[in-house]
Structure 1
Amino acid sequence: MLRYFLPLSFLLLSTAICFAQDKETLRQLPPEAVQLYPTLEDMEGYAVGQYKDYLLIFGGSIRSKISDNNYQDFPNLDILLIDFNENRASAYTNGSYEGSLGEQISATGLSYYQNDGLLYLLGGYGYSETHNQFITFPYITVINVKQTVLSLLNGMDPVASFYQLCDDRMAVFDAEMDYNGDEFFLMNGKFAYKLRPFADNPRYVEEKYNEEIRTFKISKDGAEWHLEHFETWYDLEAFREQYGTLIPERIEQQLQQLQQSRNLSQ
């Protein structure tokens, strides 16, 4: 199902101002995207891919007011396509993607990174119909952003542009993700699940991965993707000694914030 959202008025700035190059990861949406799809202002935990004058938005949660002093988070069950050429936003339901793929791209707390036209979605937390409970998804999904955008624009199913890899070590959400050109890095994050989610007394279990870093590589052999050289670092000083200047920017920022927090607590 496709839905369009058109603003009454929209002043489009140059996309050269709004976007970085395709190979870069977009961490903050330009204001023009929120003008085209105002619900984005109430969303968090989503992943963003970009191709030329288009944005793709996967997953996340939507905070909605259900009474005067009560808010509730609902999952985003659509793939959002922001089209700056036509000044419109379109929503494509995830309902046509069965099983783990549709479940993960509807999750919140997704970690993501885009490189060379490929968007890597990792983990996330949400409801799994397959497991009949809320889980942390143990998947990496690799998405060809260009092919997905073009498929949606032409009314075609983009599922051939997705590849999903299952690995329990990828079951994490709300983690910081970055890439140094050779390895991927994950810092902090959580693992959680909720048993009996629709009962009067559901049980929520959460484990935090504070001050932990995971490093790994993703490679492709023909049509198959592989997770390689995975390692979990608990000793952050040893991690810094090992990687030095190869630590990517966002992980370095997290390490510096952690050190500042430690200094203040002393």
Structure 2
Amino acid sequence: MLMKKSTFLKYILIIAALITAGSVHAEEPYTIQLEQVNIPGSPKIHSFAFADHNGKWLFIGGRTNGMHGFDAATAFPKQYANKNIFVVDPATNTTYSRSIFADLDFRVADPLRSTNMQYYYDGSKLYINGGYGFDSLSNDFITFPTLTVVDVSQTIQAVISGNSVAPYINQITDQRMRVCGGEMLKLGDYFYLAGGHIFTGAYSPISNDQVYLNEIRKFKVSASGSNINISDYSASTDTVEFHRRDMNLVPAIKPDGINEYLILYGGVFRSYADLPFMNPIYIDGNGAVTDYSFEQKMSQYTCSYLSAFNSSNGKMHTTFLGGTSLYYYNELLNQQIRDSLIPFINDITTLTRNPDGTSVEIVSPTKMPALLGTNAKFILSPAVPQYSNKVIKLNEISGNTFAGYIFGGIRAYLPNNTPSFASEYILKVYINPKPIGIQPVSGFVPDGYSLSQNYPNPFNPVTKIKFDIPDNGFVRLAVYNAIGNEVAVIVNEKLNSGVYETKFSAEGLSSGIYYYKLTSEKFSETKKMLLIK
């Protein structure tokens, strides 16, 4: 996270926040639940490169202090650069580490202790390019022109066993990889490197050698041992919309439920103002398109996020877990409040892109337990149903489901002008999908409670369930398997009196007998249904 000179001056001048009412959409697609856990010895770091393999986590680079200072001495002190490769096993609550300088020449090691590098993990190799940090050769701070390829499984095993990691880390120099503060993901065979800048010399609020790339770069990488090759390289330039760094580049699924694309959310700073970007950019194999019809008000800086797609309605959801933001949510006023100081926030928001291309921003009633999330990582659980690009298959989960962890990042004491440090929080994240399609059938108020037989029955995989509620109150409609285990919660909310119908999708469940149970304060009834696939 790199702030700009005039942003620093705003901190000193304490410019008043500008209060603006925002559009807050009440119905979130899933609820969020957080649970704090402890893993002894795990690193307190942020802005790192990350990979996970067979349930074990690998961390390289990043910083161990908080947000950078605003003078050369306190901005990026060498002593706070992470010089270790960490392996964390959450299943056994065990942490291992090994110094990068124990095995690697400083020319290879220096880029691996840098911060805000771009990285992508494809299941076997971790690709790391660029990053800003201290270069031993020049005795100065630079943006590294390197691409490093890490054999993840072998490196994890070497760190656990106390052996050299050198055979499993290879690196080349290529000026096209000289970037920091950008984001990198993959579509098909191509890497997409979005935004970022080249920062040279020690950071200073008075004078900086900083050049924005204003590009989205596209290329292929082949890597076999020390033989690393970059091919099919191209770059698209936009000096206005691509003038971004420290943003979120997220994976997405198109409404057809098949094709993948990328969404670039947020980023800083606009070329004409020290403010974050609010218009998302959609990226696929045909190019990049900026959406001027929608403005993202919250969590524009790099932060922890999760992505989920609902194939029943074609909606793509991205949930931002805390972070740093142009707006924050004021519960008393029920408004999003604009603050040009770009404060740390504890809000959780979901951006939903609808099949028709429109988008909405939803503020969750759940909050982060502190001012967390900036430069943190959401680590998706391998057990949750997901697409190949790590987007959660929302249709295939039901009930309160463990989705993954929030790890690392920056923790702040106050929203603005505040001491900060590397976060000690590790949070388990649970999501619970809300029912789709529940709606009153008519305005008729029934005389009594009733639960109808589902239709069709047998079904595959979608069926409808109708029920009558004579009184206003809390209603729960849940599904159980043949041995009585709850497998889905269809309705779990307060409803007005009326006749309702809802859809239940059993996608992800196996064939067999299931039971659905309607419960309210004054009523309970259970019926049987048959799923045949």
Partner residue, 2:491: none
| Residue 290 of structure 2 corresponds to residue 259 of structure 1 | yes
SS of residue in 1 equivalent to 2:156: helix
Task: Please report the TM-score for the alignment, with normalisation by the length of structure 2.
Answer: 0.37
Deviations 1:92-114, CA, capped at 9 Å, x for gaps? 22222222211011010011111
Could you tell me how far apart the structure 1 residues matched to 2:156 and 2:224 are? 25
The share of aligned pairs that are identical, in percent, is 23
The match for 2:193 among 167, 181, 186 is 186
Q: Report the equivalent of 2:237.
A: 234
2:213 matches 1:209: yes
Shift of 1:78: 1.2
The SS at the match of 2:113 is coil
Correspondences of 1:76-115 after superposition (within 5 Å): 76-96=82-102, 97-115=104-122
Gaps of 5+ in 1: 1-29, 66-70, 237-244
1:121 maps to 128
Specify the code of the residue in structure 1 equivalent to 2:62. Answer: G
Aligned match for 2:152, one of 131, 134, 145: 145
Opposite residue 106 of structure 2, the aligned amino acid is G
Unaligned runs of 5+ in 2: 1-33, 68-73, 240-253, 267-279, 284-288, 296-533
Paired residue total? 218
Secondary structure at the residue paired with 1:105? Answer: helix
Once the two structures are superposed, residues 3-43 of structure 1 have per-residue CA deviations (whole angstroms, 9 ceiling, x without a partner) of xxxxxxxxxxxxxxxxxxxxxxxxxxx97786445653xx3
2:60 is matched with which residue? 58
Alpha-carbon contact 1:45-1:174 (below 8 Å) kept: no
Question: What letter matches 2:212 in structure 1?
Answer: K
Residue 178 (structure 1) shift: 0.8
Query: Does 2:262 match 1:249?
Result: yes
Cα distance, 1:234 vs structure 2 = 1.1
- Select between 90-99 and 161-170 the one with higher mean Cα deviation: 90-99
Give the direction of change, closer, same or farther, for the CA distance of 1:31–1:147 in structure 2 (3 Å limit): farther
CA contact (8 A) 1:110 1:174 kept: yes
- In structure 2, relative to structure 1, the CA distance for the partners of 1:169 and 1:158 (3 Å cut) is same
Find the aligned partners of 1:95 and 1:223 in 2 and give their Cα distance: 19
C-alpha deviation, 1:140, in angstroms? 0.8
* TM-fit CA distance, 1:223: 4.9
Query: What is the TM-score normalised by the length of structure 1?
Result: 0.70
How many Å separate the matches in 1 of 2:223 and 2:42?
38
Greater fraction of residues in helix: 1
SS at match of 2:290: helix
| Residues 178 and 251, structure 1, Cα contact 8 Å, conserved in 2 | no
Q: 1:115 to 1:32 in 2, by over 3 A?
A: farther
Output one character per residue of 1:175-202: Cα deviation in whole Å (capped at 9) or x when no partner. 11110121100111010110xx59x999
After superposition, the Cα gap between the structure-2 partners of 1:64 and 1:233, relative to the gap in structure 1 and judged at 3 Å, is closer
Cα pair distance change 1:226/1:234, threshold 3 Å: same
